C-alpha cells in the first residue's frame, strides 16, 4: 500500500487525519486477515507551500519541513496510527526523480523549457482514465495558471527551475526542485515497485495528483500498470463545506487534542463509511466519546467480574456468550469485507457489548463465555485501532490523594442513601458529574471514574 502523506508546512488537520485513520484501519484489517502488508507513506518536505511558510516564519524551508515531520509523529501517536513500514521524504529521493524525468524526456513524454520540465499530457493516450475526464473538458474548465511556454494548458511540472533564495538541487536542466507529482512516483516505485496493490489518498487527490502520477509513471514504465487499485476517502466537511487549509476552515488535530483524547477523535472519524462525506461538529464528537466509552465500560465490567469471581460454570450463559462472540466476529468481518464498512463493524461491537453487559448484570458467577466474549470485543476493537482493555489514562495530579478523597466521598454518599437522604446523595452525584467524575451504582457498590 502507498498512501499519500502530508505536505509538512503545518500540523495536519482533521481532514488529513481522516485519510490517515482510514488507511491505517484498512492496513490493520489486512493484517488481521493474515496478509503481510508493506505500507509506505511519504512526507512531501519540499513544496511551494513549505517555502512560503518558511518565508513567513523566517525559517529555512528544509528545517521547517523537518519540524512538522517531527510534529506529525506526535499527533499520529495520539490517534493511534501505526508507523509506516517506510516513511520516505521527498528531499531524500531527488536522484530517483531526476532519473525518471530524464526517462520521460527521452521517450518524448517530457520536454524542457528554460530550466523547467513539463509532462506532455496529450502524448499519453490514457490521460484522464482515473478521473474520467477528457483533455477537452479539462482545457475548457482549466483552473491552472496560463503559461505560454506549455504545449498544452494541462501539461504539469516535473521539474521547476530554481528561484533566488529557494532550496535547489543540481540536475541536467540546471538547478531546481521536483514537481509535486513526480515525488510520489519516485518513492512508490522505489519501495513497492510497479503493479503494487493499493494506492490511497483523499478524494481531492484523485485529480490532478493521482491522475498525473498514473500518466508519468505508466509513461515511464512504457505501459506497465502503476497501481492495481485506487482508493479515495470522502471529504471531512464543516457545515457541508470541504475542510481545507486553503479555505481556512480547518481544525488541526493538535487543537482538537486539547479537549478530546485521540482515541475519541479516531472513533469519530471511523463512525461513517470512508467513501461517505463526514460533517464535523462538536456534538458528533461528544456522541463518539459516549460510544467509545460504552465499549470500554463493557470490557471493564467484564474484567471486574472475571477478577472478582474467577470462572464459574453457568453453562447456559457461557453458551449464549460464545454464540454472541461468534456472531459478532462474523458480522464484523462481513462489514469489513464489504468495502471496509467501519460503521457496520461498530454495530457488531455494540451488539456484543450489550450481550456482555446483560450477562454481567444478571449473573453473580462469571463464565468462560464471558472471557471469550471480552477477548473477542478487545480483539475486534484493536483491528479498528482502539485499545478497549486499556483506555487512555487521564493525567491527574496527586492521583493517590484523589483516590483517598473519593473513597471518603462515596462513604458519605452511601450513608446518605442508607438514611434515605436521596437529596444529598443526588447532590453529591450531580455535583461530581459537573466536574467530570461519574458515579455508577452497581450491586457490588458504587464506582467512580473520570469522563473526559
* Binding-site sequence positions for Zn(2+): 4, 184, 209, 213
Q: Which of 184, 162, 187, 182 is nearest to 173 (CA)?
A: 162
Which residues are known binding-site members?
Answer: 4, 184, 209, 213, 245
Instruction: Name the DSSP class of 84.
Output: P
Cell 482515541 belongs to: 263
DSSP string, 246-294: TTT---BHHHHTTTS-HHHHHHHHTSS-TTS-EE--HHHHHHHHHHHHH
What are the angstrom distances between the C-alpha of 445 and each of 350, 410, 430, 440, 442? 25, 9, 18, 8, 5
Cell 476493537 belongs to: 381
| DSSP helix/strand/coil, 391 | coil
Which residues are known binding-site members for ATP?
Answer: 245
**CB-facing half-sphere around the CA of 253: CA atoms within 13 A:** 32
Contacts of 266 (CB under 8 A, 6+ apart): 21, 79, 80, 385, 386
Beta-ladder partners of 229: 198
Contacts 24+ apart (CB under 8 A), 144-152: 149/113, 149/114, 149/116, 150/113, 150/118, 151/111, 151/118, 151/120, 151/122, 152/120, 152/121, 152/122
Burial 260-292 (b: 16+ CB within 10 A, else e): bbbbbbbbbbbbbbbeeebebeeeebeebbebb
Amino acid at each position: 500500500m502507498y498512501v499519500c502523506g502530508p505536505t509538512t508546512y503545518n500540523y495536519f488537520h482533521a481532514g488529513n487525519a481522516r485519510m490517515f485513520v482510514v488507511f491505517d484501519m484498512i492496513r490493520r484489517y489486512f493484517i488481521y486477515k493474515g496478509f503481510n502488508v508493506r505500507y509506505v507513506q511519504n512526507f512531501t518536505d519540499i513544496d511551494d507551500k513549505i517555502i512560503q511558510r518558511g518565508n513567513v516564519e523566517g525559517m529555512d524551508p528544509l528545517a521547517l519541513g523537518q519540524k512538522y515531520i517531527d510534529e506529525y509523529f506526535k499527533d499520529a501517536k495520539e490517534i493511534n496510527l501505526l508507523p509506516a513500514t517506510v516513511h520516505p521524504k521527498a528531499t531524500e529521493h531527488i536522484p530517483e526523480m531526476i532519473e525518471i524525468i530524464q526517462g520521460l524526456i527521452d521517450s518524448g513524454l517530457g520536454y524542457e523549457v528554460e530550466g523547467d520540465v513539463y509532462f506532455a499530457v496529450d502524448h499519453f493516450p490514457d490521460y484522464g482514465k482515473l478521473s474520467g475526464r477528457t483533455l477537452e473538458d479539462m482545457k475548457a474548465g482549466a483552473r491552472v495558471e496560463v503559461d505560454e511556454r506549455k504545449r498544452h494548458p494541462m501539461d504539469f511540472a516535473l521539474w521547476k527551475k530554481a528561484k533566488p533564495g529557494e532550496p535547489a538541487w543540481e540536475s541536467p536542466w540546471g538547478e531546481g526542485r521536483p514537481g509535486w507529482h513526480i515525488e510520489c512516483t519516485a518513492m512508490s516505485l522505489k519501495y513497492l515497485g510497479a503493479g503494487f496493490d493499493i494506492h490511497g489518498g483523499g478524494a481531492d487527490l484523485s485529480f490532478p495528483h493521482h491522475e498525473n502520477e498514473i500518466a508519468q509513471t505508466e509513461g515511464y514504465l512504457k505501459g506497465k500498470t502503476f497501481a492495481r487499485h485506487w482508493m479515495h476517502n470522502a471529504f471531512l466537511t464543516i457545515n457541508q463545506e470541504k475542510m481545507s487549509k486553503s479555505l481556512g476552515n480547518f481544525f488541526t488535530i493538535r487543537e482538537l487534542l486539547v479537549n478530546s483524547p485521540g482515541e475519541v477523535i479516531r472513533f469519530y472519524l471511523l463512525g461513517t463509511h470512508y467513501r461517505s462525506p463526514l460533517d464535523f461538529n462538536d456534538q458528533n464528537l461528544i456522541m463518539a466519546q459516549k460510544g467509545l466509552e460504552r465499549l470500554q465500560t463493557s470490557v471493564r465490567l467484564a474484567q471486574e467480574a472475571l477478577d472478582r469471581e474467577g470462572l464459574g460454570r453457568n453453562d447456559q450463559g457461557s453458551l449464549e456468550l460464545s454464540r454472541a462472540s461468534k456472531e459478532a466476529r462474523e458480522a464484523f468481518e462481513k462489514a469489513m469485507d464489504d468495502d471496509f464498512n467501519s460503521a457496520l463493524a461498530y454495530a457488531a461491537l455494540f451488539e456484543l457489548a450489550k450481550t456482555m453487559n446483560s450477562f454481567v448484570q444478571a449473573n453473580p458467577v462469571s463464565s468462560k463465555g464471558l472471557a471469550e466474549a471480552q477477548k473477542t470485543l478487545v480483539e475486534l476493537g484493536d483491528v479498528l485501532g482502539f485499545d478497549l482493555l486499556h483506555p487512555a489514562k487521564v493525567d491527574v495530579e496527586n492521583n493517590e490523594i484523589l483516590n483517598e478523597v473519593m473513597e471518603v466521598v462515596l462513604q458519605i454518599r452511601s450513608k446518605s442513601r442508607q438514611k434515605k437522604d436521596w437529596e444529598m446523595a443526588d447532590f453529591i452525584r450531580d455535583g461530581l458529574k459537573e466536574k467530570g467524575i461519574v458515579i455508577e451504582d452497581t450491586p457490588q457498590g458504587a464506582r467512580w471514574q473520570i469522563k473526559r
